[in-house]
Amino acid sequence: MTGVALPPEASPAGAVGRAAGDGGRSFHRVCTLDDLWAGEMAEYEVAGVKVLVVHTEDGRVTAIQPMCPHQEVPLAEGTLEGSVVTCRMHLWQVDAVTGKGINPEHAEVAIYPTRVTDGTVFVAVDGVQTRYSRP
Ligand code: FES
């Protein structure tokens, strides 16, 4: 899996890089694919913002808001099946690749721009707003 090439200074741990075509967003090194295998998800803090990095079973890597859009339960405590994240509390489901709700359909989670370069995952958090569907 490859992403947009980042400048060499983006490679060291914690480094920040800018990728062409991403509106000047700053991408931060988060983890490697050895840290997060396919079928796993884990919460990380990126530039002071918590994100849930999801490595789907078919090899896609995405980063979404870490809290359930229903009542803000950590989604890392739920389950991942394919690209579907299910909250442990009331079983709401969202697709981690699209951010769209599956059950219920009106649910939605924020997606953070994510790149994978040479097995390292980079995430940008600037300007992304979390989404909630409170009753
Ligand atoms: S808090 Fe996640 S489904 Fe209700």
Write out pLDDT tens, residues 88-132: 999 999 999 999 999 999 999 999 999 999 999 999 999 999 998
- Rounded to the nearest whole angstrom, what is the distance from the C-alpha of residue 75 to the centroid of ligand 1? 9
This prediction's pTM: 0.85
Domain extents for the chain?
Answer: 8-123
Evaluate if residue 133 carries a pLDDT over 90.
Answer: no
Tell me how far CA of residue 90 lies from CA of 67, 69, 76, 78, 82, in angstroms.
13, 11, 14, 10, 19
Spell out the SS3 assignment of 22-77.
CCCCEEEEEEECCCCCCCEEEEEEECCEEEEEEECCCCCEEEECCECCCCCCEHHH
- Rounded to the nearest whole angstrom, what is the distance from the C-alpha of residue 89 to the centroid of ligand 1? 5
**8-123 topology per CATH:** Rieske Iron-sulfur Protein (2.102.10)
- pLDDT, residue 10, reads 36
- pLDDT, residue 78, reads 98
The type of residue at 15 is A
- pLDDT 10s digits, 49-95: 999 999 999 999 999 999 999 999 999 999 999 999 999 999 999 99
Half-sphere exposure of 104 (CA within 13 A, CB side): 9
Q: Which residues pair with 115 in a beta bridge?
A: 122
Evaluate if residue 46 carries a pLDDT over 90.
Answer: yes
Q: What is the position in ligand 1's atom list of the atom closest to the CA of 68? A: 2
- pLDDT 10s digits, 9-28: 333 444 566 554 566 889 99
Burial of 8 (C-beta count, 10 Å sphere; 0-12/13-18/19+): exposed
